[in-house]
Every structure is written in structure tokens, then in C-alpha cells.
Amino acid sequence: MIYARIVGTGSHLPGEPVTNDDLVRRGVDTSDEWIVNRTGIRTRHFAAPGCKSSELALIAARRAIEAAGCAADDIDLIIVATSTPDFIFPSTATLVQAGLDIGNGCAAFDVQAVCCGFVYALATAEKFIRSGSHRRALVIGTDVFSGFLDWTDRSTCVLFGDGAGAVVLEASEKPGVRASVLHADGSHHPLLWVPGAVAGGQVTGDPFVRMDGQAVFKFAVKVLDEVVREVVDLAGVAQDSIDWLVPHQANIRIIQSWAKRLGLPIEKVITTVNLHGNTSAASIPLALDCAVRDGRIRPGHRVVAEGIGGGFAWGAVLFDF
């Protein structure tokens, strides 16, 4: 049996932390108290104007490759999860391949599942490796949401930040990923979207993030609870064998609500939303890398990564680290 194991993690946050009070100083009609009470967010990072998702991804990728102890040319598959690609095409994954000077012609493509993108990308890469067709995948979540924020819409602009996270996934006889589940229900797409497009040489529609926050909140709490139970059942392991949950970092109240529904001690949940805000596809690999580097997640630990994003698209991956 071939498993896919995470053998290296890396991440990158651009610039200095931006506090809630900094947002007030920049003219957003909000307060530190409101943001902390409703979301748990205290700081986030924003990329410099013009900085692209691939630039953040490259730094995270180099760190993950270094942690894995392999060479960039040993990578034979690159999957980038992003909903803020550098360009309409080519894929951000091909730009990362070029940036890493990988000249071996390996496959490289993007997946788009918004805040659940990393879970979709990891589950996809695992299937390539388990099939035997590929041996070492670079899986990245990267987003520059700041370019899509309407700074006059205080119900969205305070929530998001920019960043990137990456893992190297390698074929192994030792268990790594044990199960993954992916779901989507596109009928909810107007609850969370950027309803703009480019056509006829112009942006058509609205190029900013729009969201019905309360509807997203209710849906997220319900399905995140269900999807963790589902992946645990599929893996055939006991729920109390899970050492760590690494959820998508959108809002501390969403995380607390489903942890309670699952009967899960909050101490087992990795949270970085207070420091990073919602970095969309980057949030899970960023949180994972933080917990690996600070020594909480150690070799042999059992981890569930789970997320939900626009669409809606949601899912979970259970793996032994």
C-alpha cells in the first residue's frame, strides 16, 4: 500500500501585522472591540500593492522544500489552491514551477475551492501519489484577498488577510493521509462570492468580496461538524485518537461552535485566526506550519484538516503526521 505523507511544511506572511486600530486609522468604520468580540481577529497581514499570490507561494514553497530535505527538482507534481491567481491564465502553479527553476516538466495546475482550496488540493495530490503515478507533490495554498476587499464594506474588509502555506507530500509505506472527503453545493454561491468577471476588455459586475455573514456562519458550523465525523468514520479510527484539528481560520466563534458540537476540547484545535485573519486557501497550511514549527504537531500525531469556502465547497483530510 502506498501512502502519501507530509514530509515538510512552510509558510509566509507578507509585511508587518496590521492591527484593528490600524484599520480604524485607515478610515474603516469599525473598532478593535467589535472585531475581537465577533471574530477573534486582532491582526492580519497585507501584501504590498502589486504583490502577487505566486510571490507569497514561492517563499512558502522554498521553506517546505527545505523542511522536507529534498531538492526542488525532486518535485513531480505542483498543485496550487488559490482564488486570487496572478493572472487569468496561466495557472499560478506553472509560475511557481518556473520560480523554483523546476525544469523536469512536472505537472502543475491550480484548484479553485476558495477557503477550502487547500483541502481540495491536498486530497487531489494524495490520490495522485496513492495511484503510484507521482512520488513527491508540492501542495500550496496562497491568496492575496486584499486586492478584492471593498474598504467601505466593514462587514467583510476586517475579516481577511494575505498569506501562503505549503507542504511537500511524499510516497511512503508508512501511513500518512488515511482518508479525505470533499463536498460542494453550488446553490449557495450568492452567499459568498466575488461576482465580477473580465470580458470585452473590461471588468464586468462587482469585483469585491460580498457575503451574507450570518448565513455563512450557520452553514459553516453545521457542515464542519458533519465532515469531521465523516472523515473519522471513513478512516476507521476513533475520534479521540485525533491529536489535533487544523480548521480553516475564518472566525473564532465558528471554530468554538463546531468544536463544542463535536465535543472536542478547544485545546486540540490549532487557531491562528487571531494573528492572521482569514487568509482563504492559505489559512490551513499556515496554521499547520505554525504548529509544526512551534513543536505542538510532532511526528506520529494524528491530524484532521478541514475547511469550507465559497460555493459552498467543504471537506476534510485525516492524516498521521
CB nearer to ligand ACO: pick between 172 and 274: 274
Q: How far is the CB of 268 from ligand ACO (least distance, A)?
A: 20
The CA distance from 307 to 113, in Å, is: 10
Sign of CA dihedral 81, 91, 4, 185: positive
d(CA 121, CA 125): 6
Contact present, 175 and 4 (Cβ < 8 Å): no
Q: What is the grid cell recorded at 148?
A: 478584492
Structural contact between residues 163 and 286, judged by C-beta atoms closer than 8 angstroms: yes
Q: Residues touching ligand ACO: how many (CB under 6 A)?
A: 23
> For residue 127, what are the contacts with CB-CB under 8 A and spacing of at least 6?
none
Binding to ligand ACO in span 15-44, by CB under 6 A: 30, 34-35, 38-39
Residue whose C-alpha is closest to residue 183's, from 132, 129, 134, 234: 234
Residues taking part in catalysis: 115, 248, 278
Smallest separation (angstroms) from ligand ACO to the CB of 212: 8
CB of 135 to ligand ACO, least distance (A): 33
And the C-alpha cell for 250? 475564518
Q: Kindly state whether residue 158 participates in binding ligand ACO, applying the rule CB under 6 A.
A: yes
- If the CB atoms of residues 11 and 251 are measured against ligand ACO, the closer one turns out to be 251
- DSSP letter at 278 equals B
Q: Which of 108, 113, 169, 220 is close enough to bind ligand ACO by CB under 6 A?
A: 220
Strand-pair category, 313-320 with 302-309:
antiparallel
Interface with ligand ACO includes 239 (CB under 6 A)? no
Binding part of the chain for ligand ACO, among 121-129, 198-206, 212-220, 262-270 by CB under 6 A, reads 212-220
**Nearest distance in Å: CB 80, ligand ACO:** 18
Print the binding letters for residues 274-303 with ligand ACO: x by CB under 6 A, - otherwise.
----x-------------------------
Q: Which stretch binds ligand ACO (CB under 6 A): 67-75, 121-129, 209-217, 288-296?
A: 209-217
Q: How far is the CB of 110 from ligand ACO (least distance, A)?
A: 19
If DSSP codes are grouped into helix, strand and coil, which group holds residue 46? coil
- 250 and 271 in contact (C-beta within 8 Å)? no
Terminal-residue alpha carbon distance, the chain = 17
Binding region for ligand ACO (CB under 6 A): 30, 34-35, 38-39, 115, 154-155, 158-159, 192, 211, 213-214, 216-217, 220, 248, 250-251, 278, 308-309
